[in-house]
Amino acid sequence: MNITRENVGNLELLIKVDINETDYSEKVTKKLKEYRQKANIPGFRKGTAPMGLINKYYKTAVMADTVQDTLNETLYKYIVDEKLDLLGTPISNDEKTGTIDFGTQTDYTFYFDAAYFPKMDIQWDKIDTKLYQVKVVAKDIDEQISSICRNYGKFEVPEQINADDDSVYASFVELEKGEKPAEAKSKFAVFEISKIKDEAIKQQFMGKKANDAVTFNVGKAFAAADIEQIFHLPAAEAKKYKADIELTISSLAHITPHEVNQELFDKMYPGAGITTAEQFKKNIKKDIEDSYGRQCEIMYVNDVEKWLLDNFGTELPTKFLQRYIAERSEKGTSHDDVISNWETSYLPSIKVEILEENLSKEGNITPSHADVVNEVVTILKQRDAKKDDESDEDFEKRILETAESIAKDRKNVEQIFGRLRGEMMFKLFSEKTKPTAEKITIKEFLEKARQ
């Protein structure tokens, strides 16, 4: 047995595997003897048929299977022993290998095409991506407290719209030249009356009840930022959305906000010992900073990844990859289909895979099973108190066993895995690029996030 390789260009290689009769003959003989013991051939008792007859019926098939097994084992061992960092797995080069006849040949030569995994030379010092830090001001804290008071407030269903802080749940259809199209599809919207900026349109809603309809122009009624949220549109589309609509009220709601008092402090931060509005505001500020801090880290990671992909100058073994995708496709995708859709359907995801593999060699960016389990344990301890008759040891054991059971199925912990991976990516990127922090307002951050 002999294996050699020849580089073809910078990234591709041709592997040649020579298999001689001595490499597989003992295995073939052993398998044929096993066949003889089990074979039921007319005219002979089980296990007594002559080997010549066994060879006639089974030898070619056994030869093919054994040579193929030997080939696979040899090729895999060679890749491991030679520490070849390959992209995917080798592909059989049938043109160079030629026709194989297991009935007459005893020595075989197989050829395989392969490609080295592309190595990226990441120029970390050229990445000028900012790490934003949100500065929280008094107005942000007051708005958050107002939102909390509404969340913990008293929910009521008014008979009609009476005030700016009433909420409307409605369906609507877009009008064409003032008329409702015959096959108009209704959509759903929720908003507070206070969001309506046009006073005349706002007055149209006053006194309206469930099942009443109101006709108005969206662009005149709402600001672009509110259109984006109410009508679930991308920012760019929201700015241009000026449709006339007929809106039919489904139901109404009114929330009487919770007072800022000790009861609210305890609901929001049980056991924290908060007794004053100032302490409450301090905690609210920290929550906002922590929340936007994580979002800023995510934005930074996304921006660095985008820069790396936009500046992806690494050479790829394109011809090998196109053939590899076509031959490994379970959908029967042809080689021509892969080539014609290469730039749009295949190349972007391949760049991501190659980037992530290269990043993993720069630092650890993949959470381990233990990392995930530990995070699940932390979450469970926040939600599950120790039972009265349970010892500390039994509590820890129960929580750990539950966490292990949950983490066995990746689907259960997909979000946790993604968050931990994001934190590891942030650690790697920030260490490599040493970003300059830039303070921005919440409004500025949200505008950047929508871009």
The predicted-structure confidence for 399-409, as pLDDT tens digits, reads as follows 999 999 999 99
Q: What angle do CA 139, 143, 146 make, to 5 degrees?
A: 140
Q: How far is CA 315 from the centre of its chain?
A: 26
Report the percent of the chain where pLDDT is more than 70.
100
Helices (H), ranges, 341-439: 347-362, 369-383, 392-407, 414-433
The tens digit of pLDDT for each residue in 190-241 reads 999 999 999 999 999 999 999 999 999 999 999 999 999 999 998 889 999 9
Q: Is the separation of the CB atoms in 291 and 140 below 8 Å?
A: no
On whether the CB atoms of residues 135 and 151 are closer than 8 A, the answer is no
pLDDT of residue 39: 81
H or E stretch covering 255: strand 244-256
Average pLDDT over residues 354-382: 94
**CATH no. for 2-115:** 3.30.70.1050
- For 154-256, which CATH class? alpha beta
Q: Which backbone phi and psi does 242 adopt, to 5 degrees?
A: -125, 30
What sign does the CA torsion over 75, 79, 22, 99 have? positive
Mark 108-129 as b/e (b = at least 16 C-beta within 10 Å): bebbbbbbbbbebebeeeebeb
Question: Count of CB atoms within 10 A of residue 330's CB?
Answer: 5
| Whole-number Å distance between alpha carbons of 76 and 88 | 12
Domain residue limits, the chain = 2-115, 154-256, 264-315+363-450
Mean pLDDT for all residues in the chain: 93
pLDDT band for position 438 (50/70/90)? very high
Q: Does 385 score more than 90 pLDDT? A: no
Is the model's pLDDT at 366 over the cut of 90?
A: yes
> How many other CB atoms are there within 10 angstroms of residue 367's CB atom?
21
Question: What is the band of 253 on the pLDDT scale with cuts at 50, 70, 90?
Answer: very high
Burial of 402 (0-12, 13-18, 19+ CB in 10 A): middle
What are the tens digits of pLDDT across the range 110-169?
999 999 999 999 999 999 899 999 999 999 999 999 999 999 999 999 999 999 999 999
pLDDT in tens, 39-74: 878 888 888 888 888 888 889 999 999 999 999 999
Q: To the nearest whole percent, how much of the chain has pLDDT over 90?
A: 81
How far apart CA 343 and CA 125 sit, in angstroms, is: 28
Q: What is the mean pLDDT of residues 301-308?
A: 96
Identify the residue whose tokens are 């509404």.
Answer: 150
The pLDDT assigned to 445 comes to 95
The pLDDT score that the predictor gives to residue 332 is 80
Residue 172, token pair as written in the block: 């609507």
User: Rounded to two decimals, what is the model's pTM?
Assistant: 0.80
Q: How far apart are the first and last CA of the chain?
A: 59
pLDDT band at residue 37 using 50, 70 and 90 as cut-offs = confident
Q: Give me the residue label for tokens 């066949």.
A: 35
Dihedral sign for Cα atoms in the order 430, 435, 436, 440: negative
Judge if 2-115 and 154-256 fold alike in CATH terms. Answer: no
Q: Name the residue type at position 232.
A: H
